[in-house]
Amino acid sequence: MSPAPTLTLYTYFRSSAATRVRTLLSLQGTPYESEYIHLLKGDQRSASYTSLNPSGAVPTLKVSENGEEWYLTQSAAIMEYLDAVFGPSSKCGSLMPASEKGKALVRSIIDVLVCDMQPLANLKTLQRVKGMGGDSEVWAKEVNEAGLQALEGLLKKYSGGKFAYGDSLTLADVALAPQMYTCLRFGANLADYPTCAAVFKHVSSLPEFIAADWKHQPDTPEELRA
């Protein structure tokens, strides 16, 4: 049997996309090293970093195995890879439901977060909105509230109350919690989305989620630490 791949995560404390990956690694108990990419200083746009991640964004996962290194980008792809490779033998087990229906529904919740919400209010989008004379704070609040509306509709149907899908933890929760912090940051009132709020309250209090959140990272500035 070949040894397990070793992992390095390119991360930034406040990145919700990187937080998804940190949360999953924390739940699994999978060891990894971190490389810190300071988004406000523009590290993500350096030639050395874009040669690893042509999107100029975090996260990126470096996988070293069999004497080779390869780089995986996009948080949803990284979560699926980690879940498939490390999940079954990890502390938390696989976080994808066994049924095809369950997998597809979990993926649909993840896509609202990863495709419909996060990119509309990430750093470069907000900088561009501002550059075109718009109010980036108003924009960020609006797009996050629209996303919450959609999520609430899905979770009302599929959540058992404590988790985004059904009655146990899935990758949908891993994707949801970091985006809820973003929603709060931009002034969304979570009380208007009670199912999302209840799930967020429950999962964000789990120690593995706290260990991965934006307030508890080695690169979190002192004044923002919890």
Residues of the shown chain interacting with ligand GSH in the complex, contacts defined by CB under 6 A = 15-17, 39, 44, 57-59, 74-76, 114, 119, 122-124
Separation CA 146–CA 120 (nearest Å): 11
Which pairs with CB-CB distance under 8 Å and at least 24 residues apart come from 62-66?
62/7, 62/8, 62/9, 62/10, 62/35, 63/5, 63/6, 63/7, 64/5, 64/6, 64/7, 64/8, 65/2, 65/3, 65/4, 65/5, 65/6, 66/2
DSSP letters for 155-197: HHHHB-SSSSSBTS--HHHHHHHHHHHHHHHTT--GGGSHHHH
CB of 118: closest distance to ligand GSH in angstroms?
A: 6
CB of 83: closest distance to ligand GSH in angstroms?
A: 15
Residue with smaller CB distance to ligand GSH, 21 or 199:
21
CB of 204: closest distance to ligand GSH in angstroms?
A: 17
Question: Pairing between strand 68-73 and 33-36?
Answer: unpaired
Residue with smaller CB distance to ligand GSH, 176 or 195:
176
| H-type alpha helices, the chain | 16-28, 47-50, 75-85, 100-111, 123-131, 136-158, 171-185, 194-204, 207-212
Residue with smaller CB distance to ligand GSH, 4 or 115:
115
Token pair for 72: 């995986």
CB of 150: closest distance to ligand GSH in angstroms?
A: 17
Residue with smaller CB distance to ligand GSH, 39 or 106:
39
Q: Is 87 left (phi over 0), alpha (psi -120 to 50) or beta?
A: alpha
CB of 19: closest distance to ligand GSH in angstroms?
A: 8
CB of 156: closest distance to ligand GSH in angstroms?
A: 25
Residue with smaller CB distance to ligand GSH, 58 or 174:
58
Residue with smaller CB distance to ligand GSH, 17 or 143:
17
CB of 54: closest distance to ligand GSH in angstroms?
A: 12
In one-letter notation, the amino acid at residue 149 is: Q
Residue with smaller CB distance to ligand GSH, 195 or 214:
214
